[in-house]
Amino acid sequence: MNDLTRLLGRPEYQSSLFEHDKVVVQCTGLSKYFDDGELKVDVLSNVDLTVKAGEQIAIVGASGSGKSTLLHCLGGLDKPNAGRVIVRGFDLARLNETQKGVVRNHGLGFVYQYHHLMPEFTAEENVAMPLLVRGIPFVQARKEALIMLEKVGLTPRALHKPGEMSGGERQRAAVARALVTRPNCLLADEPTGNLDRKTAQKVYQMMLDLNEEENISFVIVTHDEHLADRMGHKYVLEDGHLRRS
């Protein structure tokens, strides 16, 4: 019995996908629409995607094509109108919000275009926060946070608050926070869209290095074709349909 099955207390929830095939995130037949009065807007139409351990996946598409919506559904932050989302073998539709939160905390990391660091806390405290939420003692959480800050080259900034850091440093701290729990998959939504190209390339390279070192899967939504071409797999989302590029 793995840690998530033990925490959720429902071993029948988990399929064999994660343990045997190392499928960390999967969606099948995923559809999402928004109903605006008389107008129904289809955003995702019967989308299938399988993410295995250590895979690098880029999703590109025009603005408004539904890339962020797909990422939010994969992470359990938004509910699809049809289809299934499986994270570490758990069908998110069968879990309540508390259980989904446990799965997210143990299986997924999130990085967005804006860092969303808490301004009143230091980099070290921000990175330690997901571990504290998990109930890990502060001393251990701080130790793990410092290890991850070192991996992203931010040891000298550990005691600095976000307002005292550059944009690239803040985004590296956000990546460290997303990875400190050693998730199976990192979901990143335009993670360097707010950075200049030189800084963005440094952050991307750091993420790719961490992907290789930690065997963490990456699903990155981006407008940056250069980055997308560097990933192991590239998909295009167009008219609600996802296809391999």
Q: What is the CA radius of gyration of the chain?
A: 18
| Phi (first) and psi of residue 149, to 5 degrees | -65, -35
Alpha-carbon distances of 218 from 9, 45, 136, 174, rounded to whole Å = 28, 23, 25, 15
Query: What per-residue confidence (pLDDT) applies to 17?
Result: 47
**89, 17 contact by CB (below 8 A):** yes
**Higher per-residue confidence, 120 vs 194:** 120
Query: What per-residue confidence (pLDDT) applies to 10?
Result: 52
Query: What per-residue confidence (pLDDT) applies to 19?
Result: 52
Query: What per-residue confidence (pLDDT) applies to 159?
Result: 95
What's the pTM? 0.83
Count of CB atoms within 10 A of residue 134's CB?
13
pLDDT tens digit sequence for 13-33: 444 445 546 889 999 999 999
**32, 123 contact by CB (below 8 A):** no
| Phi (first) and psi of residue 25, to 5 degrees | -140, 140
**Which strand (E) or helix (H) includes residue 167?**
helix 167-179
pLDDT tens digit sequence for 204-228: 887 788 888 888 899 999 888 888 8
